[in-house]
């Protein structure tokens, strides 16, 4: 039994390893070598916590297990720890024995960032120069840092409902030596790639805020009722996702599905593009939209990668369990 | 983070501690202080394994978490380990941080045995003398050993589809200094308490095999399609269960529910009897039937108990997670 505590993850895990793990598992999902189990998500009626399990099995990567945890909204105030708390548990698919326990907090941030990066690699125009950020919270910094590695971006633009948070992403741009400009939502027409990463329940980004040829990664909507972009954008765009079942029920596509302007059959798994069974972007004028909903298999994939790194570097805790 | 490996459970956990933990959590379920989450159960398409999660939260006991694992039918042949493999993970309900990992194999056997014992304590006639066993496999020995502590039994009788397995339970009777007799199913009319613990998909015990005044604990049926007793027995008996939702869908009651001879409203949670909000057995002639389906909260309750014992005895493994 291998244990990798949360505190070790930052030094062990790289964006590259997270990217590779997430790209591989999206490919395995599309080829039906990997699937996610039904998600359990419960408001437990104690300290307003949301708790649950996201599990899955990847036969290609031989990864089985779950991420357990959730959202404890009073953690920071009451206990000085972050509100999102999760742990990944891996099992040996050959025997059912627990094989690893891995801190899941930073991994969740990295796998979410990796997902939009995978979509940029496979769907953004090769000559993309300007990246736009909708949202400037903690997770936005992860998304931007990972995205900047996928194209030769020359400028970062950003919008946030609370503009005073924009320095968060300006700092990431500066780290990469890129200029940053705060823009209005209309200003997003200058972007070749847009990442939205908010917790909004009403759309910010309207269809006419997005120029032809843009690739848009909608990463914030993971719950019924949340929405970052106008539903009309999804009918104008070619829509891709990590998992269609989640996209249409809790993802950004839920609203266009509900109003009948989009059907599940019009949505393509990003894994199909990775596998080459879908051509991906068809023209420089096409708007591509990736609906990133977040699946348990992503968590298992990055946890499995970090376990290998921890063992290789000799810092895994081994317990005779 | 506390770790209690499987190998430590046998020396740590007692039948008494398992009984108390299960009785308390059944009570908490009936008073709505505790509830089970939706069960995830997946045939993963690898080595014929069934894998899943049973989670729950007990606000009274402040126990949150899940049992993960399942059934690997080739384990014994291929790896020399038991086919049922499970691990219990506990979380701090105040913060969402993982707090304990506990081997779940022996605990599962003990909590299942405790459940029928709790039903015997609260529903069998006080003067019960003869206990009958339907089933004589490994788990039957746990059920019988625990049951013998609940009444001043004077004799054990048993039936099994494969009679050559009956020595398993004869041995438990002998340990307790009690005579054992192999009987036909008709011979079960001599029993005051009957425990059925088989994996049958067709009923063995018919309504006329059960005498008035008997308490019957049906412990084997935990899946759609399984059945140990004739459905007519459930309409003749007063039916109790651990959880009504499971009783009517995957428990022994599923068949009487399906043929319309029993309604969910006629089934009582055993916790209501423990709490005194239901009187339990009404007469010496009444047949009481406990439909034990097995819930995640039982696993969490016994795991939580064993963590306390392990800490008290100084044999818990502590990991700075």
Contact residues for A266 (Cβ-Cβ < 8 A; gap 6+): A239
B308 is known as an active-site residue: no
Contacts of A91 in chain B (CB under 8 A): 51, 68-69, 87
pLDDT at residue B202, rounded to an integer: 95
Q: Which residues of B touch A66 (CB under 8 A)?
A: 53, 68
Tokens encoding A196? 């939205």
Task: Choose among B51, B94, B317: nearest Cβ to A96.
Answer: B51
- Cβ-Cβ pairs closer than 8 A, A with B, add up to 144
A49 touches chain B (CB under 8 A): yes
Q: Kindly state the DSSP code that residue A35 receives in the 8-state scheme.
A: E
The DSSP secondary structure of A175-244, one letter per residue, reads HTT--EEE--SGGGGG-SEEEE----EEEEE-GGGS-TT-EEEE-S--STT-EEE-HHHHHHSEEEES-H
CA distance B69 to chain A (A): 6
Cβ atoms of B57 and A42 closer than 8 Å? yes
Using the Cβ of B293 and the Cβ atoms of chain A, whether some distance falls under 8 Å is answered with no
* A95: nearest CB among B55, B65, B72: B72
Q: Are B208 and B214 in contact (CB under 8 A)?
A: no
Question: Do strands A84-91 and A63-71 pair parallel, antiparallel, or not at all (unpaired)?
Answer: antiparallel
Nearest to B95 among A64, A85, A98 (CB): A85
pLDDT for the residue numbered A266: 98
**What end-to-end distance do the CA atoms of chain B give, in Å?**
6
- Each residue's pLDDT tens digit, A254-288: 999 999 999 999 999 999 999 999 999 999 999 99
A202-257 confidence digits (pLDDT tens): 999 999 999 999 999 999 999 899 999 999 999 999 999 999 999 999 999 999 99
How does the average pLDDT of chain A come out, rounded? Answer: 97
Could you say which of B54, B67, B226, B308 is catalytic? B67
Q: What is the DSSP string of A47-113?
A: TT-EEEEEEEEETTTTEEEEEEEEE-TTHHHHHSS-SEEEEEEEE-TTT--EEEEEE-HHHHHHHHH
ipTM: 0.94
Q: What length does chain A have?
A: 321
Of A42, A71, A96, the CB nearest to B70: A96
Residues of chain B with pLDDT under 50: none
Q: Is A152 exposed, middle or buried (CB count within 10 Å of its CB: 0-12, 13-18, 19+)? A: exposed
Query: What is the DSSP secondary structure assignment for residue B270, as one 8-state letter?
Result: H
Integer CA distances (angstroms), B247 to A255, B52, B201, B206, B244, in order:
37, 19, 16, 19, 5
Number of H helices, E strands in chain A: 11, 18
Distance, CA of B96 to CA of B230 (rounded, Å): 44
The C-alpha atoms of residue B16 and residue B149 are separated, in whole angstroms, by 9
| A9 close contact with B: CB closer than 8 A | no
The verdict on B60 touching A (C-beta cutoff 8 Å) is no
Confidence of residue A304 (pLDDT cuts 50, 70, 90): very high
**Rounded Cα–Cα distance for residues B316 and A319 (Å):** 12
**What is the C-alpha to C-alpha distance for residues A88 and B69, in angstroms, rounded to an integer?**
14
d(CA B76, CA A182): 63
Query: Is B49 an interface residue toward A (CB < 8 Å)?
Result: yes
Q: What is the pLDDT of residue A11?
A: 96
Helix (H, G, I), strand (E, B) or coil at A128: coil
- Is-contact A316 A310, C-beta < 8 A? yes
CB-based contacts of A88: which residues, under 8 Å, 6+ apart? A65, A66, A67, A68, A100, A101, A102, A103, A104, A107, A299, A300, A303
Q: Would you call B81 an interface residue with chain A, using a CB distance cutoff of 8 Å?
A: yes
Contacts of A300 in chain B (CB under 8 A): none
pLDDT of residue B308: 97
Record the tokens describing residue A281, joined without a space.
């972007």
CB of B177 within 8 A of CB of B153? no
Distance of alpha carbon B299 from alpha carbon B88, whole angstroms: 7
Whether B321 and A5 lie within 8 Å, measured CB to CB = yes
How sure is the predictor about A160, in pLDDT bands with cuts at 50, 70 and 90? very high
- Nearest CA of chain B to the CA of A259: how many Å? 30
Residue B318 CB contacts under 8 Å (≥ 6 apart), including other chains: B1, B2, B3
Please identify among residues 96-125 of chain B the ones whose CB lies closer than 8 Å to any CB of chain A: 96-98, 101, 103
């Amino acid at each position: 039994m291998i244990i990798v505590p949360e505190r070790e993850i930052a030094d062990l895990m790289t964006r590259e390893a997270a990217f590779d793990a997430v790209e591989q598992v999206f490919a395995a999902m599309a080829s039906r070598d990997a699937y996610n189990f039904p998600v359990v998500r419960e408001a437990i009626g104690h300290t307003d916590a949301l708790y649950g399990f996201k599990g899955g099995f990847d036969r290609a990567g031989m990864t089985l297990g779950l991420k357990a945890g959730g959202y404890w909204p009073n953690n920071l105030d009451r206990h000085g720890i972050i509100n999102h708390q999760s742990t990944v548990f891996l099992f040996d698919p050959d025997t059912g024995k627990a094989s690893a326990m891995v801190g899941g907090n930073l991994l969740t941030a990295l796998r979410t960032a990796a997902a939009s990066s995978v979509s940029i690699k496979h769907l953004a125009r090769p000559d993309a120069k300007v990246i736009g950020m909708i949202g400037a919270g903690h997770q936005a910094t992860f998304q931007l840092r990972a995205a900047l590695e996928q194209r030769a971006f020359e400028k970062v633009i950003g919008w946030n409902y609370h503009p005073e948070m924009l320095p968060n992403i300006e700092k990431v741009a500066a780290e990469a030596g890129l200029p940053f400009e705060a823009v209005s939502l209309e200003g997003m027409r200058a972007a070749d790639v847009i990442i939205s990463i908010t917790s909004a329940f009403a759309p910010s980004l309207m269809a006419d805020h997005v120029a032809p040829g843009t690739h848009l990664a909608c990463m914030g909507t993971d719950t019924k009722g949340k929405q970052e972009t106008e539903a009309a954008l999804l009918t104008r765009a070619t829509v891709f996702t990590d998992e269609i079942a989640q996209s249409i029920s809790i993802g950004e596509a839920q609203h266009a599905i509900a109003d009948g302007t989009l059907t599940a059959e019009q949505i393509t798994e990003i894994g199909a593009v990775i596998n080459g069974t879908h051509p991906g972007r068809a023209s420089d004028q096409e708007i591509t939209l990736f609906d990133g909903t977040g699946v348990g298999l992503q968590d298992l994939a990055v946890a499995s990668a970090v376990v290998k790194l921890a063992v290789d570097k000799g810092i895994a805790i081994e317990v005779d369990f």
